[in-house]
Amino acid sequence: MATREKIDWSECPLVEVKPGVQSGAPVLLGTRMPVNAIVDNFDHGVSVAEIVEQFEVPPDRVEAILTYAKSHRIAHRI
């Protein structure tokens, strides 16, 4: 059985979850930007600079999300 990593965003001060925003997916605080999109793009080789340009998110927030994600990954069996 394969494993897929998920990230526990519950303790990240830059992330919020609202039922009416992006179907309840974790988003960057004060935006509609799903944080998993930032992490997924980075994991697939997109640079921080490209993510900043593509999603119009400040570089320090992108870096903070990626740093948090690295230390809060949880392996789930799928």
E strands along 27-66, which residues?
27-28
Mean pLDDT of 8-14: 93
Q: Inform me whether the pLDDT recorded for 14 exceeds 80.
A: yes
Question: For the segment 26-73, what is each residue's pLDDT rounded down to a tens digit?
Answer: 999 999 999 999 999 999 999 999 999 999 999 999 999 999 999 888
Alpha-carbon gap, residue 14 to 68, rounded angstroms: 10
Q: What is the mean pLDDT of the chain?
A: 89
Q: Position 46: which residue type?
A: V
Alpha-carbon gap, residue 78 to 58, rounded angstroms: 33
CB 1 within 8 A of CB 74: no
Ordered by where they begin, the domains of the chain are: 3-77 (1.10.10.10)
Q: What confidence score (pLDDT) does residue 75 get?
A: 64
Alpha-carbon gap, residue 39 to 53, rounded angstroms: 15
* Predicted TM-score of the model (pTM): 0.84
CB 38 within 8 A of CB 12: no
Short-list 18, 13, 4, CA closest to 65: 13
pLDDT band at 4 (very low <50, low <70, confident <90, very high): low
Give percent of the chain with pLDDT exceeding 90.
Answer: 78
